[in-house]
Amino acid sequence: MGIEKERARRSRGKAILNLVGLFFSLAGSILLFCSLTLKSSNFRLVEKSDGGVAICLNGKLVASGFGGPLIVTTDTCPDDWKHTGPTPEIIAERPTYVPWGLGFIIIGFGLQLPSAFAAMKER
């Protein structure tokens, strides 16, 4: 009977660690969500007819190349540039939240590892 109590105590402890880890991961995710935003950029990525990729800025070809040389030029963009959307930029509006958010996610992951290892052992 003492062995079963010990197993139940360990199982409860791992469940509590798992739950605390889940809350740490959730808090880290919320911090990252609140700190990072998306903004439209001025440039567009366009696939050319030869399979290459071009970076266009205000209708001008800035850089071109894929699987070949990278060319920087001021030529006009390929015809498809008007049909593509602007490339998003990720901006950290609150940069102090980023390391805290990542740290909380890592701590949460670490707290959930013991129960994951225990589940792998049981199989």
Domain shared by 46 and 33, yes or no: no
Q: Residues 18, 54: one domain?
A: no
pLDDT at 87: 80
Cα of 79 vs its chain's centroid, Å: 32
Residue span of the structural domain in which 100 resides: 1-37+92-123
> Do 31 and 67 fall within a single domain?
no
pTM tops 0.85, yes or no: no
Confidence at residue 26, expressed as pLDDT on a 0 to 100 scale: 93
Q: Indicate the number of domains in the chain.
A: 2
Per-residue model confidence as pLDDT tens digits over 28-57: 999 999 998 888 888 888 877 777 777 887
Q: Within this chain, do residues 64 and 82 fall inside the same structural domain, yes or no?
A: yes
* DSSP 3-state of 93: coil
Neighbours of 53 (CB within 10 A): 13
Instruction: Dump pLDDT digits (tens) for 57-111.
Output: 777 777 766 666 667 777 777 776 667 777 888 888 888 999 999 999 999 999 8
> What does the block give as tokens for 59?
């209708």
Same domain, 48 and 82: yes
What's the distance, Cα to Cα, between the start and end of the chain in Å? 23
pLDDT at residue 17 above 60?
Answer: yes
Confidence of residue 24 (pLDDT cuts 50, 70, 90): very high
Average pLDDT, the chain: 80
